[in-house]
A and B are shown apart, each in its own frame.
Chain A
């Protein structure tokens, strides 16, 4: 495979002394979808902003299909499309005008057929003559994607594209991302949603406090992240767990009112049915049950601990 984007030793310290990125190294292959996960302030947007020319790096280099983003910025930027996190749109322009404007900004001659196709793909064509101010938040988000696609980029950055959008738009967006990938576009998206990464990414990167903690194949990461917990509320408190349940991964809470069972959702069998049957045989009556998945941040923390160990 060919490298679409190569980041070497990229760091950014802002004027106030805040370090947003610490020596990040990352190679992204052409045609892959990379999901960058990380809590707010992790450095995801700073990294994207540097690549797109909005923020100056403190150290390091970035090349886009072999073009340095500083010395060969024209060639590099032509290949990049950016959908920023915030809804930045012209207020009084029409959808058609703003998308056509974006194409021109990137040095491409007008192509009404292509603009029409993009608008149709994003279910925006009916609104092509509407002023942007009259559109809903979801529609504005689509306009921003249309603008980013107007110059036919080879690398597309989607900075939290589905934050605050409804399920329908989220699924539309996932479909679009997959379609773009099929045409060879490399996609880097940042997200808080694990299911988003699970749905569309080929690889997942985890970034926290400016450090790229890991970049891993999605399947491998999902296996690591697949741990769930089943909490069983008991009718009568237990002093200790019976011997017959020792082969299950169980924990009894201090007050003896709950049993917590950890299991792997990716495994062929979760063991829940067997556990419930074993509890029945041991005359332990379950009043209620609940399952919990660790939050993304919990998972990040546990991954960091694992990596350090």
Chain B
């Protein structure tokens, strides 16, 4: 195991976060605060409680998930795409590092950034509403698993993308709608029966539901199903990355 290389990639990527503090940290915090103002204050004044949880507090796990998913994907996809774009990827590919170590460095850094952001959002939310975490272990489990899984997914997008438009395509056109329609700001029980069934096809629903359960013991689907789904996504992403490195897809000719 080339620990020095993993450490170098990890620290190099984390240094980028420091350089772009405004974009990396302050921007998501500001967005979350705006969501609180719009959804928490404006809509929350009309919906007092969902499943016995105050509406403002109810949306916290969904907001955290929204930030987590968007940032995991954008951090990891940009992390690997940028060296490809400027050509410095040659250095990583010619270094004595295994593919596993490359992924560990890039995805580790992307996931760490997302987790830090998630926790900052949690702290920010705490300023607006009272928050209770009934199952801290499972909260951390979902936080880490989601950050890692979607960083892996972002890494795949970064390898696949050959221009900046493609890099933004999936996060904007797929992930954001899935998060918004996956119960971030509502319980699917509030939807008509037909749309409840449609929403069950949205994989993000299971993540938000499981994460919310760890806070308030209220969920749209069983906690076991949520754990199964996030584990399934993780395995799926790992499989895709294994295939990418085995074939050298978009990395080696």
Q: Choose among B2, B11, B12, B90 the residue that contacts A107 (Cβ–Cβ < 8 A).
A: B2
Contact A54 B93 (CB under 8 A): yes
Indicate which residue in B19, B92, B248, B253 contacts A105 across the interface (CB closer than 8 Å).
B92
Interface residues of B in 45-104 (CB under 8 A from A): 86-88, 90-98
Assuming the contacts A101-B8, A107-B2, A108-B4, asked whether A82 and B87 have C-beta atoms less than 8 A apart, the reply is no
How far, in Å, is A108 (CB) from chain B's closest CB? 6
Q: Are A54 and B94 in contact (CB under 8 A)?
A: yes
A98 to chain B, nearest CB (A): 9
B5 within 8 A of A: yes
- Nearest B residue to A12 via CB reads B253
**B15→A97 contact, CB < 8 A:** yes
Chain B interface, >50% SS class: helix
Q: Is the CB of B90 within 8 A of A56?
A: no
Cβ-closest chain A residue relative to B83 = A90
Q: Does A80 contact B (CB under 8 A)?
A: yes
Say yes or no: A92 contacts B2, CB within 8 Å: no
Interfacial chain A residues near B88, Cβ < 8 Å: 88-90
**Least CB separation from A86: chain B residue:** B87
Check A91–B253 contact: CB distance below 8 A. no
* CA distance in complex: A103, B95 (Å): 10
How many chain-B residues does the 8 Å CB contact rule pick out? 26
Query: Which residue from chain A places its CB closest to the CB of B95 in the assembled complex?
Result: A105
Q: Return chain B residues, CB-CB under 8 Å to A14.
A: 253
Nearest chain A residue, comparing its CB with the CB of B8: A104
Partner of A54, one of B2, B98, B252: B252
A84 to B86, CA, bound (A): 13
Cα(A106)–Cα(B91), bound, Å: 9
**How many residue pairs, one in A and one in B, have C-beta atoms under 8 Å apart?**
77
Instruction: Name the B residues within 8 Å of A92 (CB-CB).
Output: 19
- Which residue from chain A places its CB closest to the CB of B2 in the assembled complex? A107
Contact B91 A102 (CB under 8 A): yes
Give 27 A-B contacts (CB < 8 Å), ordered by A residue.
Answer: A52-B90, A53-B93, A54-B90, A56-B253, A74-B2, A74-B96, A77-B95, A78-B96, A82-B91, A88-B88, A88-B91, A89-B86, A89-B88, A90-B86, A92-B19, A101-B8, A102-B91, A103-B8, A104-B4, A105-B9, A105-B91, A105-B97, A106-B96, A107-B96, A107-B97, A108-B4, A109-B4
Considering the complex, give the chain A residue whose CB is closest to the CB of B105. Answer: A105
- Contact residue among B2, B4, B15, B253 (Cβ-Cβ distance under 8 Å from A55): B253
Does B135 reach chain A (CB closer than 8 Å)?
A: no
Minimum Cβ distance to chain B for residue A155 (Å): 12
Using A106-B96, A107-B96 as known contacts, say yes or no to A88 and B253 having CB atoms under 8 A apart.
no
Q: Is the CB of B94 within 8 A of A53?
A: yes
Closest-CB distance, B12 to chain A (whole angstroms): 5
A101 to B92, CA, bound (A): 10
Q: Which residues of A sit under 8 angstroms from B98, Cβ to Cβ? A: 74
Q: A74-B96, A107-B5 are in contact. List 15 more A-B contacts (CB 8 A).
A: A54-B93, A54-B94, A55-B252, A56-B248, A74-B2, A77-B94, A80-B94, A82-B91, A88-B88, A91-B86, A104-B4, A106-B95, A106-B96, A107-B3, A108-B4
